[in-house]
Structure formats: C-alpha cells, structure tokens
Amino acid sequence: MGCIMKVLVIHGPNLNLLGKRETKIYGTLSLAQIDRRITQRAGEQGFEAEIFQSNAEGDIVTALQKAAGRVKGIVINPAAYTHTSVAIRDAIAAIDVPVVEVHLSNIFRREEFRHESLISEVAAGVISGFGAESYLLGIDAAVARSCSISLPRGSGVCPPSSCWARMTSRIGRMTVRCAARTSASAR
C-alpha cells in the first residue's frame, strides 16, 4: 500500500486572475506561481497537494464531497463565496475532513460585507491577510491537524515523515514500527 497522503487545495472564483487582478490587494504572483509554492510546501511535509480552481459554486461543492475519505486535509480560499455560499458551508459541514479557510487579504480590514464568512464556523481554522503565504500556512495547519489524528492500527497507512517527531512524543513504540514499515515499502 502506498504512503502518499493528500491535501486538497481549492481556489474559488476569480483567483485564476491572480497576478493581474487588483494587485495592490492580492499581490503580483500568478495562481500558477502560488500553486508551485503550495506543491513544494506540501512535498516538504510528506504530502501531495491536489489543486483545483473553479469559478462555479457547484463545482466546488462537488470537489468537497469527492474529497471525503480520499484526502487528509483541505485548504480552501472560497473567495467571494466566503460571504455568500450556504452550499459550500453545508458541503464542508457534511464531510469528515479538517478544512482550513484561507484568504490572501485580511478580510477584516476591508469592506464591511467581507467581514462575515459563512465558512469560518465550519472550518477548523482561518488564516487571512498574509498574501500567498496564507496558503502555505494553511498547508502547515492542515498537515498539523491531520497528524493529530491517530493512525489506524494495522491499516497499512503510513504517516508522512513530518508526523513522526510529533507522534514519537505521543505514542512512542508505535512510531518506530510505522517508520520501519514506511522504509520497507519505499524499497
């Protein structure tokens, strides 16, 4: 059994225009450049990033539903749907996967209509205002959250190496056995 742990990153509407769109607020990095950083950060933590962008609310709902049982964590920038979408909120509430809500801008320092998020109440946490770094912090948070979920014993699921240190302090001997299994399956 493979040991690839996945984290799903969802970019909402208009984020395909990053780099050209309102650069004073959102910065000059394109979505492709941000995605490369996301892939790298996830890889450093032993995770594979699966990245999806859509301008359509229903497609985001479908992506969330399909992620259940398949990925260890989700990082989502719902963009304008943050402030309007009951459907995305309900999809997040319906799945048993930790979801980190991220925003490039600090939505609380902007227009009043952006201060309300329908998503935050069902998210594991929120990161807002650090530009592209928000996504990377989101990956770190999703990984940390998934590492805190105990390993299913005997399931053949291996923890990413970034989880080992944390697990050593929690469950000692079991970590050693998992580490041995990981290196055996890597051969």
Active site residues: 26, 103
Distances (CA, A) of 63 to 9, 68, 155: 10, 9, 26
* Interface region with ligand DQA, contact rule CB under 6 A, candidates 28-36, 72-80, 140-148, 165-173: 72-80
Q: Is 77 in the site for ligand DQA (CB under 6 A)?
A: yes
**Which residue lies nearer to ligand DQA by CB, 45 or 105?**
105
Q: What are phi and psi of 64, to 5 degrees?
A: -65, -45
Q: Going edge to edge, which strands form the sheet with 73-77?
A: 47-53, 5-11, 73-77, 99-103, 125-128
Distances (CA, A) of 103 to 147, 166, 178: 23, 28, 35
Q: Is 54 in the site for ligand DQA (CB under 6 A)?
A: no
Q: Is 114 in the site for ligand DQA (CB under 6 A)?
A: yes
Among 73, 103, 141, 158, binds ligand DQA (CB under 6 A): 103
Q: Is 137 in the site for ligand DQA (CB under 6 A)?
A: no
Among 10, 31, 67, 104, binds ligand DQA (CB under 6 A): 104
Among 3, 29, 80, 151, binds ligand DQA (CB under 6 A): 80
N- to C-terminal Cα separation, the chain: 12
Q: Are 25 and 84 in contact (CB under 8 A)?
A: no
Among 45, 53, 85, 105, binds ligand DQA (CB under 6 A): 105
Q: Cα 45 from chain centroid?
A: 13
Read off the tokens for 135. 């996504």
* Interface region with ligand DQA, contact rule CB under 6 A, candidates 30-38, 90-98, 104-112, 174-182: 104-112
**Which residue lies nearer to ligand DQA by CB, 8 or 158?**
8
Q: Which residues does 18 contact at the CB level (< 8 Å), separation at least 6?
A: 26, 27, 29, 30, 31, 34, 104
Q: Is 14 in the site for ligand DQA (CB under 6 A)?
A: yes
Binding site for ligand DQA (CB under 6 A): 14, 77, 79-80, 82, 103-105, 107, 114
